């Protein structure tokens, strides 16, 4: 299985490759990718240099152009495709079917991956992307169990890739509009879920209050780890008490499931975190590099705590084990 790692900056790209990434995914510094935050992502020159660095060390670069174009700005997304191909990107990660059609017709030799934002969660949906646009890989959404993934992979004529570490999303990827109600910025179109410009924290004697777009999202006790404010991970007061109604602020960690994912036929494992710093990239990538190498040698992976790099200092297996069924 390949290890696919995030990079929000050129420095993070180099750290990921030095730590053992087989491939790195990144995006341009505009709204064509779903991590469109200030200070992150790549200029055209930075991407070109990053690809040269990766290729010189036997690694590959996957460019995420995974938001949905607006009717008035399609050329921005098409130009991102052209520039990524010109820079010799090894694959494009795309969510929008119109943009996939553009890639297939304009650059028929370019390797195309279906983004998790497309939410292709069954063999029929995946077959559509393969037959219509020549997709070579699909990134499966984080709503499937290991058994479901194995069944899909058996019935699918392209490679499958899944997330093994990092932030979770309770919604079907590419379908969430919660953030836009509070901030006016859409994660699906502008690539910004809970933009930092709309986030505020207030310290009081009772602890920390977090707000998004003026709305109170959470209150944390003085010694409680404060998560980043997103609506789906907010703490709400209901008739049944206070708590996390949609999703707890925790991170996915599927280290214990690597053997099962390998048996399921997965081609690649993906780490989330393009908005994270170099310490996160280096530590998490090295952990999974060692774990994968150990599994390839026929041994059990060593379980090392990644708690310092998780959201809310806690982790989960998410939908990989649907204990509620």
**Mean pLDDT rounded to a whole number for the chain:** 91
Q: Is the pLDDT of residue 81 over 60?
A: yes
* Residue that terminates a domain, selected from 213, 229, 244: 244
Specify the CATH number for the domain of residue 121: 3.20.20.60
Q: Is the pLDDT of residue 323 over 90?
A: no
User: Nearest Cα to 92, choosing from 277, 9, 101?
Assistant: 101
* Residue that terminates a domain, selected from 244, 260, 291: 244
Within-domain flag for 173? no
Find tokens 């930075």 and name the residue: 46
Q: Is the pLDDT of residue 21 over 70?
A: yes
pLDDT one-digit tens code per residue, 52-73? 999 999 999 999 999 999 888 8
Q: What pLDDT does 322 receive?
A: 73
Neighbours of 73 (CB within 10 A): 12
Q: Which residue has the higher pLDDT, 6 or 175?
A: 6
pLDDT one-digit tens code per residue, 100-150? 999 999 999 999 999 999 999 999 999 999 999 999 999 999 889 999 999
Q: Which two tokens stand for residue 316?
A: 């989960």
| Number of domains, the chain | 2
Q: Are residues 83 and 222 in the same domain?
A: no
Q: Are residues 144 and 270 in the same domain?
A: yes
Query: Backbone dihedral region of 90: left (phi > 0), alpha (psi from -120 to 50 degrees) or beta?
Result: alpha
Q: What pLDDT does 173 receive?
A: 66
The residue range of the domain holding 194 is 178-244
Within-domain flag for 146? yes
pTM: 0.91
Q: Are residues 240 and 98 in the same domain?
A: no
Q: Are residues 15 and 114 in the same domain?
A: yes
Residue pair 238/245 in contact by the 8 Å Cβ criterion: yes
| Cβ neighbours for 139, distance < 8 A, ≥ 6 positions apart | 93, 113, 114, 115, 116, 161, 162, 163, 270
């Amino acid at each position: 299985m390949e290890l696919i790692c995030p990079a929000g900056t050129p420095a993070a790209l180099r750290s990921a490759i030095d730590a053992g990434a087989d491939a790195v995914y990144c995006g341009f510094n505009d709204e064509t990718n779903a991590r469109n935050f200030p200070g992150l992502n790549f200029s055209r020159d930075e991407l070109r240099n990053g690809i040269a660095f990766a290729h010189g060390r036997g690694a590959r670069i996957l460019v995420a152009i995974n938001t949905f174009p607006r009717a008035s700005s399609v050329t921005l997304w098409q130009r991102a495709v052209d520039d990524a191909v010109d820079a010799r990107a090894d694959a494009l990660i795309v969510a929008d079917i119109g943009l996939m059609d553009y890639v297939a017709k304009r650059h028929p030799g370019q390797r195309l991956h279906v983004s998790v934002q497309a939410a292709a969660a069954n063999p029929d949906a995946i077959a559509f992307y393969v037959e219509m646009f020549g997709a070579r890989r699909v990134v499966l959404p984080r709503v499937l169990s290991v058994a479901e993934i194995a069944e899909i992979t058996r019935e699918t004529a392209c490679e499958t890739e899944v997330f093994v570490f990092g932030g979770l999303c309770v919604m079907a990827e590419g379908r969430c509009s919660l953030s836009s109600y509070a901030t006016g910025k859409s994660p699906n179109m502008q690539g910004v879920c809970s933009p930092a410009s709309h986030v505020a924290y207030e310290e009081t004697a009772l602890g920390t209050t977090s707000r998004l777009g003026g709305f109170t999202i959470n209150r944390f006790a003085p010694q409680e780890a404060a998560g980043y404010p997103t609506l789906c991970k907010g703490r709400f007061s209901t008739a049944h008490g206070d708590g996390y109604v949609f999703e707890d602020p925790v991170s996915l960690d599927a280290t214990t499931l690597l053997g099962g994912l390998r048996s399921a036929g997965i081609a690649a494992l993906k780490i989330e975190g393009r908005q994270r710093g170099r310490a996160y990239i280096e530590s998490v990538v090295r952990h999974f590099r060692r774990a994968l190498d150990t599994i390839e040698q026929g041994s059990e992976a060593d379980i090392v705590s990644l708690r310092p790099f998780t959201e809310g200092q806690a982790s989960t297996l998410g939908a990989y084990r649907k204990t509620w069924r």
